[in-house]
Amino acid sequence: MDDMDEINIVPLVDVMLVLLTIVLTTATFVVNGRIPVDLAKASAAAPAQPAPLVLTLTQHQALYLNDEPVSDLAEALKAYAVSTNVVVRADGSIALAVFVELVDKVKALGYTQVSLEVKRQ
């Protein structure tokens, strides 16, 4: 019965060190927000996605499209394809009904990819 006098914890320590290395490496990628990659070049690469349209609604309900004042939303959006991503930035003090009304107007014009930009706490 003297065969089980002690437990060998070296394999357990080895496994824990490997897991710690994986966690720390992954945490570095999460903090940076992206993994740095030097992309290869190709002659027939797909075109880059166009920048999204940014609609900004201020506290005083002034509307801007890509930092330019807008008086007529339909007229301002007419120059852009309906497949374009639209990002709505609204002041936090704006009533929800005003924001929903703006999103409804954008969707009524045929834009289906509408999202809201918020600040991470």
Kindly report the pTM of this predicted structure.
0.56
Within 8 A by CB and 6+ apart from 98, the residues are: 57, 61, 90
Cβ pair 117, 89 in contact under 8 A: yes
> pLDDT tens string for the chain (121 positions)?
556 677 888 888 999 999 999 888 777 665 555 555 566 677 765 566 677 888 888 888 888 888 888 888 888 888 888 888 888 888 888 888 888 898 899 899 998 888 888 776 5
